[in-house]
Amino acid sequence: MGQEVGSGVNATPRFDAVLDAAGLLCPEPVMLLHGAVRGLDSGEIIKVIATDPSTTRDIPSFCRFLGHELMASEVAGTRYLYFIRKR
């Protein structure tokens, strides 16, 4: 299942799963992320797509609290993208 896009500095990390939380408001994106991460194996990467600006605070906090690695985050228009590696 995964994907790898591009190479170099602006390359999109490889990922094994996608969580599309676009249009959902706090706390739904993090609640769905918690469930989605449970379904991953250790070391797998999930790409999260969100539109709620509060995810810029909530998703890094989620990763710190549970020990997952926030590999990358970026803003693409009105979407916030996160790449998280399960511990």
**68 within 8 A of 37, measured Cβ to Cβ:** yes
Once rounded to an integer, what is the mean pLDDT over residues 31-41? 98
Confidence category of residue 6, pLDDT binned at 50, 70, 90? very low
Range of the domain at 70: 14-85
Measured between alpha carbons, how far is 73 from 12 in angstroms, rounded to an integer? 10
The answer to whether residue 6 is domain-embedded is no
Structural domain total, the chain: 1
The answer to whether residue 9 is domain-embedded is no
Active site residues per annotation: 26
The answer to whether residue 67 is domain-embedded is yes
Pairing assessment for the beta strands 12-15 and 69-76 based on DSSP bridges: unpaired
pLDDT at 3 (0 to 100): 44
The answer to whether residue 3 is domain-embedded is no
Measured between alpha carbons, how far is 59 from 78 in angstroms, rounded to an integer? 16
The answer to whether residue 7 is domain-embedded is no
pLDDT at 10 (0 to 100): 57
Name the nearest CA neighbour of 21 among 59, 51, 63, 57.
Answer: 51
The answer to whether residue 8 is domain-embedded is no
The answer to whether residue 4 is domain-embedded is no
pLDDT in tens, 44-79: 999 999 999 999 999 999 999 999 999 999 999 999
Confidence category of residue 8, pLDDT binned at 50, 70, 90? very low
Q: What is the mean pLDDT of the chain?
A: 90
Measured between alpha carbons, how far is 4 from 52 in angstroms, rounded to an integer? 25
Whether the pLDDT of residue 26 is over 80: the answer is yes
CATH classification of the domain holding 31: 3.30.110.40
